[in-house]
Amino acid sequence: MKIENAINHEFQNESQKLIAELLYSANWLEHQISKALKPLDISFQQLNALRIIHGQVENKANVQIIKDRMIDNRSNVSRLLNKLCDKGFTQKERCTMDQRVVYIALTEKGKETMKKGKEKMEEMDFSLEQNKLQLLNSLLEEIRAKEIITNKHK
């Protein structure tokens, strides 16, 4: 469906249309991911944190490492980690050398949920040819690499 029809709006230029396309598509994708992960009782942000922890030595990470590697860096990581702990997916461990440092470790339940969530994400498919996926990824990287010019007279 064309974005103009989806939101009933005519755009002044292609840049404005692109902004709407990206935001609309991001919300659509977030909804698709949310539906896929619902049976596991986790959000995408929670799955992202579990995957980050899983990728660390001994499946443990401190809060700063998790925060630095989150895809959505707007997440309230402390609150998110508390929810994961409440659900039994993680546990907190104090560093023996420095009691101020807290590590978040995966439980067996957390490892299993992370594995199932990863599988759900890998099942998602856009039904596009490989070269189109590569082109789209490349264009999105290029957009992020450029600074947005807010004043045309600069």
Domains and CATH numbers, the chain: 1-40 (no CATH), 41-122 (1.10.10.10)
Q: Which two tokens stand for residue 124?
A: 């998602």
Q: CA gyration radius for the chain?
A: 19
Alpha-carbon span 60 to 45, nearest angstrom: 17
Confidence of residue 26 (pLDDT cuts 50, 70, 90): very high
- What pLDDT, in 10s, does the model give residues 51-83? 999 999 888 999 899 999 999 877 789 899 999
At residue 62, the 3 state secondary structure works out as strand
What's the distance, Cα to Cα, between the start and end of the chain in Å?
36
Euclidean distance between CA atoms 53 and 62, whole angstroms: 9
Per residue in 96-154, pLDDT (tens digit) is: 788 778 899 999 999 999 999 999 999 999 899 999 999 999 999 998 888 776 655 54
DSSP 90-152: EEEEE-SS-TT-EEEEE-HHHHHHHHHHHHHHHH------HHHHHHHHHHHHHHHHSPPP--T
Global confidence as pTM: 0.84
Using one digit for the tens of pLDDT, what is the confidence trace for 83-109? 999 999 999 988 778 877 889 999 999
